[in-house]
Amino acid sequence: MKWVLKSLLLFASLLSLSLAQTKNASSYVIGNADADAAMVTFYLENVSNCQLDTVDVRVAHNSVYFTTDEAHLHVELAPSEIGTFAMRLSQVVNSDWQWVIDGVAVSNCAEAGQINFEKHVFGKPQSAAVAASTTTPSQTVDGGSLFYTINKGDTVYIIADKFGITARELMNANGLSSEALIFGRTLTIPISGSGNFVMHTVASGDTLYSLSQRYGIDIAVLEKANCLGANSVLLLGNQLRIPPAGVSDVATTCR
């Protein structure tokens, strides 16, 4: 009887393992991707009942030489949550570039852990229309300062008007005793809350790269203004603070 019970348990275990091995990437995450020069944007949705922590992706620059870039994306997507992520490539892709998901890491479910997929099928990318997400950002921003490099023709009044503050506030923030300015020097621009920022709601297709091009802001400045890191995911529906064009740096308090 014990032998029969052990056999049944072994069979159940093997069956469970077999079923688990039949799962592919689409059991956990679906999406699409498009590229612009040496930047690729992934639109990913967690279709599992697990917390989707990371996604391992591989991009083939073309189908002739089959050179690839790989990335370990920290997506942190809850079930049914959608996010967009920009990945910088080592070279410009051409028209027949492709991508694949090599593995995922999941948590808060029975199969928690790293799951790798043995059958890698590269797929042709295309832009995806995905629904908006109402997820709250993991970090918020409190006040801070902008930094502006003085250009030819600038005066304290022109700069102050550009950022929606008074000339006196600008002078006080920089310890200026007169209105004289030196070209090339950096001024601190005090801000509070959203200040003179443009508030941008993340939409399908948005990436840090595309937003930096659209608003004339360096990617690093955009990341600092919103407490984002190099592997941060832009969640659809969230709001980003866009500093005014011409800002050379930004200091924010993240919590």
Indicate which CATH number applies to the domain containing 166: 3.10.350.10
Distance CA 71, CA 167 (A): 47
Residue 105 has pLDDT above 90, yes or no: yes
Residue 159 belongs to some domain of the structure: yes
Q: How deeply is 16 buried, as exposed, middle or buried, from its count of CB atoms within 10 A (0-12, 13-18, 19+)?
A: exposed
Residue 71: CATH number of its domain: 2.60.40.10
pLDDT digits (tens, 9 = 90+) for 178-203: 887 887 888 888 775 445 678 888 88
Residue 54 has pLDDT above 80, yes or no: yes
Report yes or no: 184 and 151 within 8 Å, Cβ to Cβ: no
Contacts of 250 (CB under 8 A, 6+ apart): 144, 145, 146, 147, 221, 224, 225, 243
Q: Which of 25-29, 35-39, 57-61, 114-118 has the lowest mean pLDDT?
A: 35-39
Distance CA 29, CA 124 (A): 16
What number is the average pLDDT over the span 17-33? 70
Phi, psi of 14 (to 5 degrees): -65, -40
Domain count, the chain: 2
Residue 117 has pLDDT above 60, yes or no: yes
pLDDT digits (tens, 9 = 90+) for 217-231: 888 888 888 888 766
Q: What pLDDT shows up at residue 11?
A: 47
- Buried b / exposed e over 74-100, threshold 16 CB at 10 Å, is ebbbeeebbbbbbbebeeebeeebbbb
Residue 190 belongs to some domain of the structure: yes
Rounded to 5, what percent of the chain is helix, strand, coil? 20, 35, 45
Report yes or no: 230 and 204 within 8 Å, Cβ to Cβ: no
Q: How deeply is 232 buried, as exposed, middle or buried, from its count of CB atoms within 10 A (0-12, 13-18, 19+)?
A: buried
The answer, as to whether pTM is greater than 0.95, is no
Residue with the bigger pLDDT between 112 and 161: it is 112
Share of the chain above pLDDT 90, in %: 9
Q: Which residues pair with 212 in a beta bridge?
A: none
Domain co-membership, 169 together with 247: yes
Q: What pLDDT shows up at residue 75?
A: 81
Where does the pLDDT of residue 97 fall: very low under 50, low under 70, confident under 90, or very high at 90 and above? confident
Domain co-membership, 166 together with 250: yes
Runs of H (alpha helix) within the chain: 2-21, 156-162, 167-174, 208-215, 219-225
Residue 157 has pLDDT above 60, yes or no: yes
What range defines the domain where residue 229 resides? Answer: 141-254
Q: Tokens in use for 183?
A: 């070209």
Residue 134 belongs to some domain of the structure: no
Q: Which residues pair with 216 in a beta bridge?
A: none
Residue with the bigger pLDDT between 134 and 246: it is 246
Q: What pLDDT shows up at residue 51?
A: 93
Residue 18 belongs to some domain of the structure: no
Residue 225 belongs to some domain of the structure: yes
